[in-house]
Chain A
Amino acid sequence: QQQVKQSPQSLIVQKGGISIINCAYENTAFDYFPWYQQFPGKGPALLIAIRPDVSEKKEGRFTISFNKSAKQFSLHIMDSQPGDSATYFCAASSKYNFNKFYFGSGTKLNVKP
């Protein structure tokens, strides 16, 4: 049973549009939520991360929105570019074992020129 549920599985967005990827969890002990970006043939790389004490975190065109009561968080990519085409993973770790990360199933984003 996947601890972090991610949707959609794939996403096609026009250049300049907004890409939105959603994740949900059940374990209330989760308190750290990173997002990773992966290009074909490469390992994932950290994009942005959030703790539940804030509802939003923005870095450039990338924003994480966090809803603690709903146990959901999402990644928004503003002004999406073809170079953003990649697979995105959300993840979570617990305050009781922050070395153990649980990843979502991934979203393959294709930004059309």
Chain B
Amino acid sequence: NAGVTQTPKFQVLKTGQSMTLQCAQDMNHEYMSWYRQDPGMGLRLIHYSVGAGITDQGEVPNGYNVSRSTTEDFPLRLLSAAPSQTSVYFCASGGEARGPQHFGDGTRLSIL
């Protein structure tokens, strides 16, 4: 059982480049979310989805886009990368309200 799979694990981008971080879960969870983790800041919610076709903004949505066309996948798009987006990105999924969120192992993104 793979759980939540994030790809790639590491990525280096130049300012202005675009890229998509992939997230897939095999637990048939309705709820999926994206966080960024920065030193001293904890995890901050970027975007989340409560089901296919439904997305909403979190605390820090600017500079990021998401879509949810299937239950399994929830990609995060950076349209024009900026150095301030250098971070570790985590995707999570959850199967029930108030239930545990299952996190992937993260994507470490550096923007030069």
Contact = CB atoms under 8 A, between A and B. Distances in A.
A43 B90 contact: yes
Interface string A25-50: 00000001010000001111110010
Interface residues of A, number: 26
Interface stretch (B12-20, B40-48, B62-70, B76-84): B40-48
Interface in B48-81: 48, 50, 56, 58-59
Contact of A100 (B40, B41, B58, B98): B58
Contacts of B48: 99-100
A102 B98 contact: no
Nearest to A6: B42
Interface residues of B, number: 25
A98 B45 CA distance: 13
Interface in B31-45: 31, 33, 35, 40-45
A105 interface: yes
A89 B97 CA distance: 19
B35 to A, nearest CB: 8
A91 B31 CA distance: 17
Interface of B: 4, 31, 33, 35, 40-45, 48, 50, 56, 58-59, 90, 92, 97-98, 100-101, 103-106
Interface of A: 2, 4, 6, 9, 32, 34, 41-46, 49, 51, 89, 91, 93, 98-106
